Structure formats: C-alpha cells, structure tokens
Amino acid sequence: MSENALPKSWNKETKPHKFCPGCGQALALKILGHAIDELGIAQNLIYATDIGCSLLSWDMFNVDTIQTHHGRTVPLCVGFKKAKPGAIVLSLTGDGGGYAIGAQHLLNSVMRNDPITIILINNANYAMTGGQLAPTTLLKQKTTTTPKGREIIQGRPFKGPEMLAQISADDTYIARGISTNYQQLLNMYKKAISNQIDGRGFSFMEVISMCPVNWHTNAQESLDFSEIEMAKVYPLGEIKVPKALT
Amino acid sequence: MPTKIVLAGEGGQGVQSVAKIIAIAAQKSNKYSSYLPGFGVEQRGGVSLAYLQISSHPIPYPQFEKADIVVCFCSRAVSTVKKFIQKNSLFIYDDSAIDNKSLEKIKSDVTEYLAIPAQKLGREKFTSKVANIILLGGIVAHLKEINFQEFENSILEEFASKIEKKPEIKDLNLGALKAGLEIAEKFDKSKHLFEGVTPPEIKTAFSKDKISWTRFPEYCKGCGLCIIKCPVQALKFSNEIGFLGLPMPEVDIQKCIGCKKCMQICPDGAIKVEINP
C-alpha cells in the first residue's frame, strides 16, 4: 500500500470527511490543504469556520480551529488577529454566512482593510438545510423555496467580489476561483494567504463550488452547472491584485 | 419495562422505514411505542440510527443508553451500536454484509445473537432493496406481543405510494418479511458461529512502465467526477464498491497518459497518480 494522496495538513484520523459524494467544497478544501502544505504555515494557522456546510470542516485540518455563530467568522477573525498579530487567520464561510447574515461584517472589514483571509464557498444555495434560496442563487434556478425558479423580484444573484472591490483599499486581494480548476485555485489561495503574511491587507476569495445533492444533478450535470452556468454569471479570475503580488 | 430496540445502518438502507413500521404496528396492537430517528449533520454518507421503544405502559422518554435488541445493517454501524449492547442484549445482524473484522470489535460483548443473510437472500430471491424488510422479519420473531398481521398492514401503509406505482413491490416486501421470520425461527445459535463475511480482496494499484495509478477504497465515495474529467476515457465504474457501498472507478492503465486530472478533481483524495522517473 503506497502512501495516501491526502494533503499533509489534513487530519488523517477524521477521514473520510463528512462532505457528500462529489462535493465542491471538499474539493476546494483539498486544494486549500495543498496550498497550506506548499506555504508551510500549518503551525501558525488559525482556521475559523462558520455555520452551514463549512462547519463540516471543523476537524478537516491538523491546525487550530475556532467556530462561531452564523455569519460572525469575520469579526471573530479580526479579533483574533488584533490579539495575536503574528498568527495567520484564515476563515471559511458559505454564501449564506458571508453575503446574507454576515454581509455587514464583511463590508466593514474590507473598509478597515483588516489583514485577514476570507474564503467564501459559493454553491448557489443553502446546502446544509436542504437547498433553500441563497443570495447567490442564479435566476431561474430551482431551490426548495423557489420551486418555480428564482425570479427577479427575489433579487439578482449577489456578486460579492465585484462589490467588495469597489470599496477596498489598494492592498486588498480579491479573486474568484472555481473548485474544479486546480492550478488556478491553488495559485489564488497562495496569493490570498501570502497577502496576509506580508501584512498588506484584506484578502477575499470566492470559490464556485458544486452541490450535487441539492442541485439533484449527477457528476456531468454538476460540472456543467458550475463550470458553464455559474461561471457565466460569476466571471472567474482575479478582480483586485495588490501591486506587490503582480 | 419497555422493550428497547436500536437499529443502525447506512443512510438509505431503510433503517428508518423499518423502525417506523414496527412503531406503527405496535400502536395498532394497542401498545405504546416511541420512535426517534438519529443521524449526524451530513446529508449523505452517515450512519443512520433509530431509537425504538415498545411498552404496555406510556413511555416517558424516547432515548436510552442500553438496548434489549440491537439491529445492525452494515459494517460501519457496528462501532456505533457497540455502546448499546448490554448483558443479554440480542444482537441481530446481516451476516452477508458485515465483515468479520468489524464483528471482532464486539465479540466479547455479545452473548445472544441472530444472523440473517439479508443482503444475500434479497439479491437471490427478491431484490437487494428489501434486505431491510428481511431483517425486520428477524426482529418480528422476537416481538411476539405484536400481532403479525399488523406488521403486514403497516408495511403496506409505509410503501403505499410506491406500491401504487409498482404493484410488485407489495409481494416482494411481504415475501421478504416471511422469509426473514422463517430464518429467525429456525436459527440455532449452537450451530451458527458469530461470524460475517470476509471482504473480497480489492485491487488498488494499477501500473505500467512509468505510471502508477492507485485508488483508496476507504476514501472513495463514488461521485464519478474523475470519470468525466479523464481526457482519454481511461476510467470507468467497476464492480468493486467503496466504503459507502457505491461503485468505485477503475483505470484502463493501457489508455492512461498520467495527466493526473483524476487525482486533482477527486474531492476525497482517493486517487493517487505517480510518474516514476
């Protein structure tokens, strides 16, 4: 038996992890694990999770982990960073926590340019509770609370990175990646974390994910929905890069 | 004292349906019953647990720590039900699905047991989907205070909407119940050792000249992303199953070009591709 293929920073005792088969968030976390390995920061990292599917990763990594109320990971991270400026604070949140209940924290943190890294998983629904409408749900997409598809009266899909880019300082790193593009996402993670390590400022990443269970899709349909449908509405790429990182 | 029953299996094996059927049948026989489902936060792939109590008096609290009957559907649930086993608990298990390695963990705790080859019998005589009802037959044999007719009625009630679409489901389930009951009544502990199946050896490593491709059955959830991402269609689902009971991919190593796309896309870290220099 050869050695397993898991990232070194993953906690091997808790694997297989709790995510559903084909989950994009698990994939995003695997690539984050590789980024942590390559940067060699596991010893100095504080990992914060939100409520929602991101909570399922509380024992994912072999690093110190904190957890808080729905949407409050950003102020928690800011507080930790203020108390211990040497720590690398990384937060994982969902689209519900970041763009709905915790939106004001995210906005104010960007305005203050706090030196923390936020990774937001966008799977276009509230996955843990059974697939309800989220701020990021696409127009015409069916969820359990919009059985006929999202209509314009329920709001347009929320473009977080674009909005944050408008109010952010020059030293902010803002990007949008997709869980299925390994190399691009790995590079973005490394930039987002090193922006914090170098003490420049706020780093924000949105990761487009897949939710086969709540989308009711098979592997092919999940890939198509995230790589084609979602990427059409949420363009991929780096939105704001500090000069030092270019 | 109420009869306390705990049932455990993979989510989707029908653990909750069985518990519901027993609870309803008990109430129809003028008994008190309580049924409490218990599963983790995961939507897919967790162990599904059901707490069940049957009594001739009102039941004060639906949960309990030790059970009189422990029913186990799959290998992974064995360590979950370990804590419920007490002296003289009856351990009902599927000896065609649970492997010896898992049973070894509880061998010292179990004194009374009943083995029913539910998966095997289901596959051979009915369909593998009625394995839970075959195990229900085993439980029924030890619930003499409930009228057998009521079990049949509550099965028909539980699956009413499915029977409407597919009438043959009725006979399959009722046949499975009787088959399970028959095995349980004939079961002789002295002639049957406390053992399950020996899991088949699964091939994990595939290799050609410089490329070695490895899969990890203990991590593979069978999502199929690797099969679609493979640029040369070298992957397909095999007959071997991973730990969730879903088929795992296998590689046609002659077609493999060693691009590592499958390794990169796997959310579970269940594939490893190495290029040897």
Q: What is the pLDDT along chain A (246 residues), one digit of tens a residue?
A: 457 889 999 998 888 888 888 999 999 999 999 999 999 999 999 999 999 899 889 999 999 999 999 989 999 999 999 999 999 999 999 998 999 999 999 999 999 999 999 999 999 999 988 889 999 999 999 999 999 999 999 999 999 999 999 999 999 999 999 999 999 999 999 999 999 999 889 999 999 999 998 999 989 999 999 999 999 999 999 999 998 888
Rounded to an integer, the average pLDDT of B151-162 is: 92
- CA–CA separation, B67 and B154 (whole Å): 23
Secondary structure of residue A101 in the 3-state scheme:
helix
**Which pLDDT tens digit goes with each residue over B92-109?**
999 888 888 888 888 888
- CA–CA separation, B171 and B28 (whole Å): 22
> Is residue B245 within 8 angstroms of chain A, CB to CB?
no
**Which residue(s) pair with A89 in the sheet?**
A46
The pLDDT value recorded for residue B41 is: 63
Residue A23 in contact with residue A211, Cβ under 8 Å? Answer: yes
Q: Domain residues of chain B, as ranges?
A: 3-191, 205-275
The pLDDT value recorded for residue B198 is: 83
The CATH architecture of the domain made up of B3-191 is 3-Layer(aba) Sandwich (3.40)
Which chain A residue shows the shortest CA-CA distance from B226?
A: A219
pLDDT category at B55 given cuts 50, 70, 90 is: very high
The pLDDT value recorded for residue B44 is: 65
Residue B257 in contact with residue B232, Cβ under 8 Å? Answer: yes
CA-nearest of A185, A12, A32, A182 to B216 is A12
**In chain B, which among 167-226 make CB contacts under 8 A with chain A?**
204-205, 212, 214, 216, 218-219, 221-225
Q: Is the pLDDT of residue B42 over 70?
A: no
Is B270's CB within 8 Å of A5's CB? yes
Joined tokens for residue A244: 């030092």
B205-275, CATH topology level:
Alpha-Beta Plaits (3.30.70)
The pLDDT value recorded for residue B21 is: 94
The pLDDT value recorded for residue A1 is: 42
Which residues of chain B make contact with A223, given a CB cutoff of 8 A? 225, 228-229
Q: Which residue has the higher pLDDT, A196 or B128?
A: A196
Is B44's CB within 8 Å of A219's CB? no
Secondary structure of residue A56 in the 3-state scheme:
helix
pLDDT category at B203 given cuts 50, 70, 90 is: confident
- CA–CA separation, B152 and B167 (whole Å): 15
Rounded to an integer, the average pLDDT of B122-150 is: 89
From the list A21, A128, A214, which residue is nearest B223 (CB)? A21
> Is residue B265 within 8 angstroms of chain A, CB to CB?
yes
Fold equal for B3-191 and B205-275: no
| Lowest model confidence (mean pLDDT) among A106-110, B56-60, B125-129 | B125-129
Residue A175 in contact with residue A24, Cβ under 8 Å? Answer: no
Pinpoint the alpha helices (H) of chain B: 15-28, 78-81, 100-104, 118-125, 131-140, 148-158, 160-165, 168-186, 225-229, 261-265
**Min Cα–Cα distance to chain B from A60, Å:** 11
Output b/e per residue, A131-168; b: 16+ Cβ within 10 A: bbbbbbbbeebbbeebeeebeeeeeebbbbbebbbeeb
Tokens 């299925």 locate to A180
Q: Is the pLDDT of residue B40 over 70?
A: no
**Min Cα–Cα distance to chain B from A110, Å:** 31
From the list A22, A56, A214, which residue is nearest B267 (CB)? A22
ipTM > 0.90 (yes/no):
no
Residue A97 in contact with residue A50, Cβ under 8 Å? Answer: yes
| Lowest model confidence (mean pLDDT) among A229-243, B31-45, B52-66 | B31-45
> Is residue B40 within 8 angstroms of chain A, CB to CB?
yes
The pLDDT value recorded for residue A233 is: 94
Mean pLDDT over each residue of chain B, to the nearest integer: 89
